[in-house]
Every structure is written in C-alpha cells, then in structure tokens.
Structure 1
Amino acid sequence: MKTIIVPIDFSKYSENALKVAAQLARKKQAKIVAVHMMGLSDANLIKEDNTMEGLFFIKLTQKRFEEFLNKDYLEGIIVHQTVKNYKIFSELDDVAKEHKADLIVMGSHGSSGIQEVFVGSNTEKVVRTASVPVLVIKNETDFTMTKAIFACDYKLESLDVFKKAMHLFNLLGIETNLVYINLPGENYKSTQQIDQQIVDFLVHLDLAYKIIPEDITIYGDYSVEQGIFNYAKKIKAGIIGIPTHGRRGLAHFFSGSISEDIVNHSELPVITFKM
C-alpha cells in the first residue's frame, strides 16, 4: 500500500477518517492525499467580475486546509493536499486514479450522509463509482482491529473481487471470516446447494489462499443486511467487507441499494470492493 485518499470537509467525520488513514499510512509507510472539494459554482470561477471572489475562496480554503492538517498524529507522514472544484462526488475516483491510490478512506455521518460538504448520498456515490476499495468510518476509532467478515455469494463472477478483498485484509494483517448469507423465500438454497457452489468457487482459487469449504460460514437470516450485522456481532468482528457492483448494486443476492444500506446503517467500519 503506497497511497491513501482522504476526502476532507473539515468536519469531525472527515477527521475520524484522517486519523484512521494516518494509522494505516504509518503502518504501511504510505502517503496520504487529502482532498477538499469546494463545489464552487462555475460563475465564481469563470465570470470575469467573479474572478477575485473565486480566488478568495480558493486561498481561504487552502489556509483552512493547512490548519486542519496541522495534527500531531500526522507527524512523520507524507501528506499531499489538493483542492478540487468537483461538485459530483463520483469524480473522486479520478483523483484516486491520478495518484494511483490503493484505498479511499472517508468519514460518514450515517444514513443522512456526511455533514457540511458531504451531504445527501455522497458517500453512496463514492462507494458506487470508486474503482479502488473504499473504507467508510463512522466514529472516532483506534484502527487496530484484527477481525473482519467478508460476505460474498461465492459465484465465479466474484472471484476477482474476492481476491482483491483477501489481498487487502492480508496486507493489513486482519483475520478474515468468510460468510454466505442464506435468505428465505425465492432466494433460499439448501445447505447442499450452497456447499456445492462454494466448492465450485474455491477450486478456481490458487492453492496459496489455503481456503477450504469449512472456512466459509453459511448464516441464515431474513435479509442480507441483517445477516451481515448479526454475524459480525456474533463473532465480534471489527470491520465489514462487501463487494459492490457499482450502480447496479451488489452482485447477485446483493440487490438494489443493499450496499448503500450497509454502509449507512453499520456502526462498524465498512470496506467496499468494486466488482
């Protein structure tokens, strides 16, 4: 891990994310790219009579940025700061690609989104559109957790995202507990059916992963979201990992807006991996 992106809106939520990013950066000798998205109107930046006003806002933001990043916990860590006038949060992925980032760490207020600049569904937009993993932090936390759950459907289409998740969790030294959420109704599968699906999935993995069918827990619940939360609570996990299928929601049994629901409703940190 070399580069971590952290969106900053000067709120306590973005500082929670910055603290976690600092812990990860220090652990992996990575650098942080702190990004502030002003969202100024085009009129403030294009119209001649508003040029001075636009420059004023930019300089004011840069000054506030420098003050915000003057933290003891960032001492010794390389921090680059960039101010963008993006108004569409899906464009944060462009910043990640520009800097060849390995991870985006962002703060979230919960179901109402992030306060101040991060309003509405901006967290969800980043989760849906980011090509790199996105770690969403709700509360101030000491990111020293050692146990995660990763929920997957264990179909062949999920092989690549599964490998991405295992690579990152291993890199961070986090024990990963694998789970399949079995649902009632038309989505229900027998244990035998799920076992066969898992075996078919695992035979396509390199032996270096050292994962056997018994390593994957089949957990029944009434929804994917509740199943993930309940299983995480049962094993006392500190972080939740899920695949995301971009604008189409999560793959297969992860349908609709379930990825956004998990990100919004979870009190635990959630990390998403784009399929």
Structure 2
Amino acid sequence: MRRVLVPVDGSQPSFDALDFALDVAARFDASVHVVHFSNQETDATEAIIERAREHVDASDLVDTPTVELVDLAVWTDSGVGKAIVQYAQEEEYDHVVMGHHGSGAVERAILGSAAEAVVRASALPVTVVP
C-alpha cells in the first residue's frame, strides 16, 4: 500500500491538497497521514488539526487517516520545507501532496514557499495543489 504524506498549514490550498490526496488515496488504495508542523501549540493549531480531522472524516477512505501535530523547533518556510522532506524520508512515505499559495514571483518571494523547498529537495514524488 502506498503511503501519502499531506502537510497542512491552515490555508485553503493546504486543505484543497488534503481533499485531493484523500480522493486519490480512496481510488488507489493508499494510506494518508496528515501533519501540521508548528513550533508551538495554540488555539489556531488546534483549529487546524480539527479542520483536518473534519476533512478526513468526510472522506471515503476505509482506513481512517491519521492527523497529528509535529513539533518544529524553528519556524520559517525553508525550515518547514526541510522538516517535511526529512520527516517524509524518515517515515518512508511514497508521496507528498501539499498546497501552494501562489505561483508568481511576488508570492514566492513573500512565502519563501515550503512547497517549493519540498519540490526542490525531495527525492520523493511531490504533487502541489494550487
């Protein structure tokens, strides 16, 4: 069974990516693991985890995906990107599906783009959902 990692950050694109991954997993008998990387747990963090669980509960998957918080010591987009790649490799995932906030030069400059960092650094297949 293929293992798919879906990092969520609370943005609509990250939840669009989660819905995409859940749909693909249901069609191709894959497992999904949803993670939120954060350097501290807050009410916003709890809301992100809860919203991810709602998306998971609404899916057609037989095996319920896991949703968890992963502690991240340093919070920067490049740091998140590196953490995602490292986590995916250590946990032996087959694929990463994640959202992206924009595709223009301005968006990349502002975001630093965790998605872009993952695409560039990962040897795993990465699907980026706008």
**TM-score class, shorter:** 0.7 to 0.9
Find the counterpart in structure 2 of residue 98 from structure 1: 90
1:123 aligned to 111, 115, 128, which one?
115
CA distance in 1 between counterparts of 2:99 and 2:44 reads: 23
Shift of 1:73: 2.3
Shift of 1:24: 1.3
Alignment of 1:72-91 (within 5 A): 72-73=58-59, 76-86=62-72, 87=75, 88=79, 89-91=81-83
Tell me if the contact between 2:22 and 2:61 (Cα under 8 Å) persists in the aligned partners.
Answer: no
CA distance in 1 between counterparts of 2:17 and 2:9 reads: 11
RMSD: 2.3
The SS at the match of 1:100 is: coil
CA distance in 2 between counterparts of 1:82 and 1:75 reads: 18
Tell me if the contact between 2:52 and 2:67 (Cα under 8 Å) persists in the aligned partners.
Answer: no
Shift of 1:61: 2.3
Structure showing greater radius of gyration is: 1
CA distance in 2 between counterparts of 1:64 and 1:91 reads: 18
Find the counterpart in structure 2 of residue 3 from structure 1: 3
Alignment of 1:1-275 (within 5 A): 1-38=1-38, 40=39, 54=40, 57=41, 61-62=45-46, 64-71=48-55, 72-73=58-59, 76-86=62-72, 87=75, 88=79, 89-111=81-103, 112-113=107-108, 119-138=111-130
CA distance in 2 between counterparts of 1:61 and 1:74 reads: 25
Shift of 1:15: 0.9
Which amino acid in structure 2 is aligned with residue 84 of structure 1? V
Among all aligned residue pairs of Structure 1 and Structure 2, give the percentage whose two residues are the same amino acid: 28
Shift of 1:63: 5.5
Shift of 1:28: 1.7
The SS at the match of 1:34 is: strand
Shift of 1:32: 0.8
Tell me if the contact between 2:21 and 2:97 (Cα under 8 Å) persists in the aligned partners.
Answer: yes
In the superposition, relative to structure 1, how do residues 108 and 64 fare at CA in structure 2: closer, same or farther (>3 Å)? closer
Tell me if the contact between 1:25 and 1:77 (Cα under 8 Å) persists in the aligned partners.
Answer: no
> Which structure 2 segments of 5+ residues have no match?
none
Shift of 1:75: 5.0
Q: Which runs of 4+ in 1 moved over 4 A?
A: none
CA distance in 1 between counterparts of 2:100 and 2:63 reads: 23
Tell me if the contact between 1:26 and 1:77 (Cα under 8 Å) persists in the aligned partners.
Answer: no
Which amino acid in structure 1 is aligned with residue 95 of structure 2? L
Aligned residues: 118
Shift of 1:10: 1.4
In the superposition, relative to structure 1, how do residues 58 and 74 fare at CA in structure 2: closer, same or farther (>3 Å)? farther
TM-score by length of 2: 0.76
